[in-house]
Structure 1
C-alpha cells in the first residue's frame, strides 16, 4: 500500500512540474514557441524574440502541422505538405507526423496551435515519467528515480528542442525503449517485446529520423548488452517472440526510412565538408548555460540550439564523484554506460574518425553527431543517480536533509535554465496574418495555389496563404527530381536546396514555376512592385 502511494506521489510530482513549467499554455492559452516570427519572416525583417535560432520550428514544422491539421479536419487524404513542391510519395518523408497515431487525436482540437501545444506538453511530461520508469526497472529507489526523471525532463535538450513538437517525442519515448529492453532482459516475457515494438513505432513516426536513429541504436545496444549479461534459459517460445519482434521492427523501419535514405544521398548535406565538430566551449553548457557565455555565440553547425546540453551542476558533480565513490565492482557494473559516454564524446568532438564511412555510406552525412547530444545527457544522469545511491547509503549519512536540499537546488537550477530559452506566444500570433503583405495578396489573387520561387521568403510560411513554393529545406524529393536538380548543378545550398538561379529560366519552367519574388531587377515581365519587393512572371 505504501509503495502504491509513493508511486502516485512521484506521478503527482511530474504533473506539478509540468503545470508549473507550462502555466502560460495551460491557463493563459499561449503556445510554447519562443517568439512570434510569422510577420517578420514574411516581410524579411530582422528577427526578434528570445531565441531566434529556433527558426525551423516557426517557419517549417509549425506551418506543416497547420496544413496537416487542416487536411484532417476536412477529412482529406493526409499528405505531408501539398503546398511544397516535392513530388515525393508520403511514405518517404522522414520528418512528418503523418504516420503517428497521435494524428487521430486532431479532431478533438479546434486549432492547430492547440494540438501543437498538446504535443509539446505531452512529450515534456512523458520524458520525465518514462525516465522514472526506466530507473525504477533498474531497482533504484522512488526518490532517486524521481530525481533522475526530473533532471532529464528539465535538461537542456528537452527544453531547447521542445518547440519543434517532433524531436521532443523521440527524447520522450527513448527512456521507455530502455525500460522495455530492461524488463524483457530480466523476465524474457514477450509482452515487453510488444511494448518495445510499439514504442519504437511511436518514436519512428514522431517526425524526426535523425534523433530517432541515435535513440534506436543505443536502445538496441542496451538490449543486447542486458541479454548477454542476464543469462536465462531461452525456450522455443522466446525465440519465436524475439524473431517476430525483429522482423516487425525491421519491416516498419524500412518502410519509413528506405525512401528517405534513397533521396538523402543527393541532398545538400551529402556535399558538406564540415564534419560538425563541437568546440570546447560547449562543455560549459553542461554546467552553466548563458552564464559564462551566450550559447548563441559559440560555433555550431546548422543550428546553435542543438548544442544546448545542460543538465545542471549537481548531476554533473555527482557524475565526477564516481572517481571518489566508485569501487572496482561499480566500474564493472556500469562499464556499458561509461563506454557509450566516452564513444559519444569522441564522436561529437572528433567526428573526423568516422569520415571514411561517409564514402561507403553517403547518407550518414545527414545524421550529424550533435543530434546525439541528448544521449550524453541521459547517460550522465543515469551515472549521477547511481553514484548518489552509493553516497546516501554510506554509514552515518544524513539522508533526510540532503535529499530535500538536493531536490530544491536541482529544481531551482533547472527551472532557471529553462527560462533562458523557453518562451510563449499568443495563439493569434501564429495564425496567418489578416492583412498579409501586398505581394502575398497579389499572388493569392492571380491564380489558385500558384507555384513561386521566392528570394524574399523561401520558407514554408507561404503554405499558410495557399501559395505553393519550390523551397525544400530537407530531403523530401524523389530520386528523379534530385537527379534533375543535381544535373543542373543546383544542389549545393543549405538555406535552399534548390538554389535555382533566376537566370536559369528553362530550369524553373521545368519545375513549373509561375512567379518569381525578388528584391533584384531582372529582365522578366514585372507584374507587381511595392517598395523594394518585386513579383515577376515567368513567361
Structure 2
C-alpha cells in the first residue's frame, strides 16, 4: 500500500517541510509583516518599539494583502450569509466584486473557508504546490514514466519559479495547478465516462479560481494537446466527447464569464498605463540568465535587485538538476510528447520575449491580449520544462547513455563558463555593487552543477544497487535547491501582524456610517485595506475599475473637466486634490492625513501616532432630493457643467438623458437600510421628484417601489444613481443583480 502511494505521501511530507513555519510555528504564508512595516495606522501601534516600522522581508509581495486576501474575505463573508457577493461597497466608492474575476466567488475549493479565515487562507496557499505536484505526477505517470521521474516532474512544476514568485497570491496558482489534470483527463477521455466529469470539473475550476490570463494559457495548451491526441488516431468519438465536455464547461462558467465581460467592457482596462512598449513588458533578453542563476540580478528580499522592473514577473528557474534532464530529454530518440512540449516551450519563449511575433497582438490592439502582460507565459515555460525534466530523468533511468548525459553537462557547463568569462571581464559594464551581487549569486547554482555532474557521472559507472541511491541524491539536491530559492523570496509572518485593530480604524468603524474616507498619502490605509474593516473608501486597487470612475477622479485630480486618458494612475486610484465640492459629493466624511488640513476647512477629530483623522462637516447626505435638474447632451458636457462655479452639488443634479421633468425639490428622504447588494430609501413628497443616491451607477443595479413597480435608474452627476419617484409615501429599493 505504502509502495503504491509513496509519491503522494512524499508530496505531503515535503509540503510539511516546506511549510514548517506554518504547521509548527503558526506563521502565516502571507506578507502581513509589510502591513505593520510599511503602512499606517498599523505602524503607529508599534512605533514605540519600532519607530521605523517593524522589519519586513519582501516589499514585492504586498499585492496579496492589498488585493487577493481582502477580496476573498469579502466574498466568503457574503457567502456565509447566503448572499451572492456581487458588489464591493468599500473600494472605488463601490465597484463590482464578483465580476472582477479575481475574487474567485464560484471556485469549488472555497469550501475550505468554512474554517477561520486566516487559517483557511494559509491552507489555500498550502494546497497550491500540493495539488500541482500530485496532478503533474498523475499526468506523467499516465505517460508511462516511472514513479521517480513522475514525482520529479511534479515537484519541479510545484516549486518552479512561477509557483515560487506567485505563491502567496492564491488565485493565479489555483488557476494554473489544474492544467496537468486537464491534460490527464484528455488522455483518459476515451477510456471511461468518469473522465468527462473530471475534465469538466478541472476546466471550470481552473476558470473559477480567478485569473483570466492564466486560464487562457491553460485552455490554449489543452486545446493544442487535444488536437495533438486527436490527429494521432482521428477518432470521431474522441472529438465528440471533447466537444461535449467543452460545451458543458462553457455553460457552467457563464455565471462568472458574462458579468466579467460586462465589467471589462465598462472598465478602464484599455487605458492601462502598462503600455507594451515599456521595458519589462516582455522578458528582457538578458534576464534569460535567470534560467541558470535565478538571483543574478539580485533579489528584492535582500534589497539588492538591480534587474529590469519586477523580479517576480521575469524569474525563470526550475533548478539546475532539472535543467540538465531537460537537455537530456532532447537528445537521441524523442517521445512524441517530448516533441509536443518542446514546441509549447519554444512558442512560450517566442511570445514572451521581445520578438517580432510577440509584438503583433499589441500592434494590432487585439482585445484582451493587448492588455495582458506576456511575461506570465513563464507559467507555460516552467510547465513545459517540468514535463521535459520528468521525461529526461525517465530516459536517464532506462537508457543510461553516457554520451547524451555528457553532452547535456557540456552544454550547460559551457553556459556557466561563458558567464564566468563575462563576469571576469565585466562585459556587462556593471557597477561594482551590481557586479558583486552577480558574482556572489553565481556561486551556489554553479556549485549545484558541479555536485550534480559528479553524481551523474558516478551513476553511469556504478552498479545497479547504488543507482537509486544516487538518483535519490539528485532529487534531494533539487528539493534543496528549489526550497532555498522559495524560502529566500517568500514570507511567513505572525498572525498578530495581519490587519491588527488600531484606534484609528476603531474610530472610523464607529463613526463612518454610510459615508466614505479618503487619504492624503499612499502609506496611509492603502486602497482595499478598508475592506477588512468594512469601511467605504473612494480609493481602490484593481486591474479592473470603472472607466467612468477613472475619468471622474482624473478630472478632480487635474482640477479641470478633462476626462481623457491617460488618467495619471496605474490600477491604484487615489484622490490627490482635496476639492471640497467633489469630496462632499463623493460622501467623504473623513480624511486621513499626516499633515494638518484645518486650513482647508476640515476639522481634526482624532489622532493616533502620526495618523490624523479630519472630519468633513459639509459632506452631502447619502441620498437627497434634487431641487434642479440640469440636462446635458453627453458625458463631456456633464463634467463641464459640474466644474462650473455656479453648480451646486447639494441641490442640483446633472443628468444626460432626462428632460422635461418638473420638480419642486421638496420632501423628506432618508436611507432606511443599507448593505452591499441592497439599499432601501424611504421618501415622502407631495409631487413627482428626482432623488440622487450617491452610490456608483452600474447597469446591474435596479430600482423598484414597494408595490413592485420598476424604476429607471439615471446616471446622475457623472457617477451616481438617480430615480424619478411618484408623489406620496414610498420605499424605493435599489438592488443588484448578476446581469
TM (normalized to structure 2)? 0.64
Q: Residues 140, 127 of structure 1: CA spacing in aligned structure 2 closer, same or farther, 3 A cutoff?
A: same
1:409 maps to 2:474: no
Q: Distance in 2 between matches of 1:305 and 1:140?
A: 31
Where in structure 2 are the equivalents of 1:195-210 lying within 5 Å?
195-210=198-213
Structure ranking higher on relative contact order (CA contacts 8 Å, 6+ apart): 1
Separation in 2 of the partners of 1:231 and 1:505? 71
- The structure 2 residue matched to 1:420, chosen from 483, 488, 491, is 488
Question: Could you tell me whether the CA contact under 8 Å between 1:269 and 1:365 is conserved in 2?
Answer: no
- Offset from partner CA, 1:271-326 (integer Å, 9 cap, x none): 6254502224432333333366336624444x432323321001112223346x33
Aligned residues of 1:144 and 1:385 also touching (Cα < 8 A): yes
- CA shift, 1:428, in A, is 2.2
Superposed, 1:437-476 pairs within 5 Å as 438=504, 440-456=505-521, 457=524, 458-476=526-544
Helix, strand or coil at the partner of 1:71: helix
What is the RMSD computed on CA atoms of the aligned residues?
A: 3.1
Q: In the TM superposition, what is the alpha-carbon distance from 1:427 to its structure 2 partner?
A: 1.7
Residue equivalent to 1:285: 290
Kindly indicate whether residue 159 of structure 2 is the aligned counterpart of residue 154 of structure 1.
Answer: yes
Quote how far apart the aligned CAs of 1:259 are.
Answer: 2.5
> Residues of 1 paired with 2:566 and 2:575: CA distance?
9
Greater share of strand residues, 1 or 2?
A: 2
Which of 169, 176, 190 is equivalent to 1:171? 176
Kept in 2: contact 1:264–1:366 (CA 8 A): no
1:222-371 matched pairs, under 5 angstroms: 222-228=225-231, 230-235=232-237, 240-251=240-251, 252=253, 254-255=257-258, 257-264=260-267, 266=269, 268-269=271-272, 272-275=275-278, 276-290=281-295, 293-294=298-299, 297-301=305-309, 303-322=310-329, 325-327=331-333, 330=334, 334-350=338-354, 353-358=357-362, 359-371=364-376
Q: Contact 2:165 / 2:489 at 8 angstroms: preserved in 1?
A: yes
Please, which moves more after superposition, 12-21 or 26-35? 26-35
Paired position in structure 1 for 2:71: 64
Give the whole-Å Cα distance in 2 for the aligned partners of 1:483 and 1:292: 38
Structure 1 position 83 matched with structure 2 position 70:
no
Aligned to 2:25: 28
1:134 corresponds in structure 2 to 139
Out of 312-321 and 476-485, give the one that drifted further: 476-485
Question: How far does residue 257 in structure 1 lie from its aligned partner after superposition?
Answer: 4.1
Q: Which region of structure 1 is more displaced relative to structure 2, 119-128 or 65-74?
A: 65-74
Contact 2:352 2:358 in 1 (8 A): no
Q: Give the distance between the partners of 2:594 and 2:571, measured in 1 at CA.
A: 17
Within the candidate set 520, 526, 533, 2:602 is matched to: 526
Change (3 A) 1:432 1:385: same
Distance 1:512 1:190, change over 3 A: farther
Mapped to 2, the partners of 1:143 and 1:241 lie a distance apart of 32
Instruction: Give the CA deviation at 1:117.
Output: 0.8
Helix, strand or coil for the counterpart of 2:236?
Answer: coil
Aligned-pair CA distance for 1:152: 1.5
Give the paired residue count: 522
Distance in structure 2 (CA, Å) of the matches to 1:417 and 1:192: 36
Instruction: Work out which of the residue numbers 483, 488, 491 in structure 1 matches 2:563.
Output: 488
1:281/1:18 Cα in 2 relative to 1: closer, same or farther (>3 Å)?
Answer: same
User: Do the aligned partners of residues 17 and 89 (structure 1) sit closer, same or farther apart at CA in structure 2, a change above 3 Å counting?
Assistant: same
Structure of higher CA gyration radius = 2
SS for the counterpart of 1:517 is strand
Contact map agreement 2:518 2:539 (CA 8 A) in 1: yes
Q: Give the conservation status (yes or no) of the 8 Å contact 1:518–1:534.
A: yes
Aligned: 1:216 with 2:219: yes
Q: Which has the higher helix share?
A: 1
Residues 116-127 of structure 1 correspond to what in structure 2 (within 5 A)? 116-127=121-132
Q: Residues 453-508 of structure 1: CA distance to partner in whole angstroms, max 9, x if unpaired?
A: 22323421122233211223224445654665676247634555435441555555
Q: For the residues of structure 1 that align with 2:77 and 2:326, how far apart are their CA atoms?
A: 47
> Counterpart of 1:452 in 2: which secondary structure?
strand
**Partners of 1:349 and 1:494 in 2: how far apart?**
27
Q: CA shift at 1:334, angstroms?
A: 2.8
Q: Closer, same or farther in 2 for the Cα pair 1:395/1:271, shift >3 Å?
A: closer
Report SS of the residue matched to 2:294: coil
- The answer to which of 333-342 and 148-157 deviates more is 333-342
- Secondary structure, aligned partner of 1:468: coil
Q: Contact 1:66–1:112 at 8 Å: present in 2 too?
A: yes
